[in-house]
Structure 1
Amino acid sequence: MAVAIGLRVGSTYSKDVGLGGPDMDDKQHFAVLDGLRGVAALVVLFFHTVQHHDLQKLPQAGLAVDFFYILSGFVIAYAYEKRLESSMNFSQFMRIRIIRLYPLLFVGVMSGLLLLILSHFIQGRPDLRDVFLVGLLAILLLPSYVFPQWATAYPLNMAGWSLTFEFYVNIVYALIVRYLSTRRLVIVVVLSLIALIWLALKNNMISGGNDQDNWIYGFIRVMFPFFCGVLLYRLRPASHLSNISALAANLFLAILLLSDFGRSWLIDLVYVVCILPAVVYFGSSLLVDGKTLSRFLLMGRLSYPVYILQDPIIRFFAEVNSRIHASFEMALAIDFLQILTVIVASYLALKYFDEPVRAWLTARSRRRLKPVATT
Structure 2
Amino acid sequence: MKLDQLTFTRYIAALTVVFFHFGQQAFPATHAWWHPVVTAGPIAVSYFFVLSGFIMAVAYYQPKAQSLTFNKGKYWLARFARIYPVYLLALVLMILANLKTDGRDPLAIGLSLSMLQAWIPGYAMVLNSPGWSLSVEALFYLSFPFLLYFVHRKGIRTLAFLTLVAWLSTQTLQIFLHNSPSYEAKGSLHQFIYYHPLMHLSTFMLGLTVGISFCHGKFKRFDQAWNGLAISLLTLLVILCLAYETQLEQYLGILIDYNNGLIAPLFLAILVLLAVNTGWTNRLMSLPFLVLLGEASYSLYILQRPAYGIYDRVLGQWLPLDANLHYYLFAILLTVASILSFKYMETPLRRLINSYYGSSGKASSNT
Report the TM-score, using the length of structure 1 for normalisation. Answer: 0.74
Q: CA deviation at 1:250?
A: 11
The match for 2:6 is: 33
Q: Distance in 2 between the 1:252 and 1:89 partners?
A: 37
Contact 1:39 1:299 in 2 (8 A): no
From the superposition, tell whether residues 319 and 61 of structure 1 become closer, same or farther in structure 2 (CA, over 3 Å).
Answer: same
From the superposition, tell whether residues 145 and 272 of structure 1 become closer, same or farther in structure 2 (CA, over 3 Å).
Answer: closer
Q: Distance in 1 between the 2:362 and 2:164 partners?
A: 39
Contact 2:95 2:102 in 1 (8 A): no
The match for 1:101 is: 83
The match for 1:156 is: 127
Which segments of 5 or more consecutive residues in structure 2 lack a partner in the other structure?
Answer: 250-254
The one-letter amino acid of 2:295's match is: R
The one-letter amino acid of 1:221's match is: M
SS at match of 1:153: coil
Q: CA deviation at 1:114?
A: 2.2
SS at match of 1:370: coil
The match for 1:113 is: 95
The match for 2:145 is: 174
Contact 1:85 1:177 in 2 (8 A): no
- Out of 205, 212, 223, the residue aligned to residue 201 of structure 2 is 223
From the superposition, tell whether residues 36 and 127 of structure 1 become closer, same or farther in structure 2 (CA, over 3 Å).
Answer: closer
From the superposition, tell whether residues 266 and 282 of structure 1 become closer, same or farther in structure 2 (CA, over 3 Å).
Answer: farther
Q: How does 1:238-317 map to 2 (within 5 A)?
A: 238=220, 240=223, 245=228, 252=235, 256=239, 259-262=242-245, 264=249, 265-266=255-256, 268=258, 272-287=263-278, 288-289=282-283, 292-317=286-311
Q: Distance in 2 between the 1:303 and 1:250 partners?
A: 25
Which segments of 5 or more consecutive residues in structure 1 lack a partner in the other structure?
Answer: 1-25, 118-124
Q: Point out the more displaced range, 309-318 or 170-179.
A: 309-318
Q: CA deviation at 1:184?
A: 1.4
Contact 1:47 1:61 in 2 (8 A): yes
The match for 1:50 is: 23
1:264-294 CA-partner distances (Å, limit 9, x unpaired): 5557389524322211121221233488432
1:342 equivalent to 2:316? Answer no
Q: Distance in 2 between the 1:142 and 1:211 partners?
A: 19
Q: Distance in 2 between the 1:81 and 1:331 partners?
A: 46
Q: CA deviation at 1:251?
A: 10
1:231-270 CA-partner distances (Å, limit 9, x unpaired): 211232127599x939965993797299522355557389
From the superposition, tell whether residues 162 and 191 of structure 1 become closer, same or farther in structure 2 (CA, over 3 Å).
Answer: same
Contact 1:73 1:229 in 2 (8 A): yes
From the superposition, tell whether residues 292 and 129 of structure 1 become closer, same or farther in structure 2 (CA, over 3 Å).
Answer: closer
Q: Distance in 2 between the 1:133 and 1:281 partners?
A: 41
Q: CA deviation at 1:352?
A: 1.2
1:125-150 CA-partner distances (Å, limit 9, x unpaired): 337632x553332111122899x9xx
Q: Distance in 2 between the 1:223 and 1:334 partners?
A: 37
Contact 1:153 1:211 in 2 (8 A): no
The match for 1:196 is: 170
1:215-245 CA-partner distances (Å, limit 9, x unpaired): 4442333122111111211232127599x93
1:317-337 CA-partner distances (Å, limit 9, x unpaired): 56789967x98x522222122
SS at match of 1:155: coil
Report the TM-score, using the length of structure 2 for normalisation. Answer: 0.76
Q: What root-mean-square deviation, in Å, do the aligned CA atoms of Structure 1 and Structure 2 show? A: 4.0
The one-letter amino acid of 1:105's match is: Y
From the superposition, tell whether residues 267 and 336 of structure 1 become closer, same or farther in structure 2 (CA, over 3 Å).
Answer: same
1:1-43 CA-partner distances (Å, limit 9, x unpaired): xxxxxxxxxxxxxxxxxxxxxxxxx32xx11211222211122
Q: CA deviation at 1:372?
A: 2.9
Q: CA deviation at 1:166?
A: 0.9
Aligned length: 332
SS at match of 2:129: coil
The match for 2:252 is: none
1:351 equivalent to 2:354? Answer no
Q: Distance in 1 between the 2:199 and 2:294 partners?
A: 24
The match for 1:365 is: 357
The match for 2:44 is: 64
From the superposition, tell whether residues 212 and 201 of structure 1 become closer, same or farther in structure 2 (CA, over 3 Å).
Answer: closer
SS at match of 1:159: helix
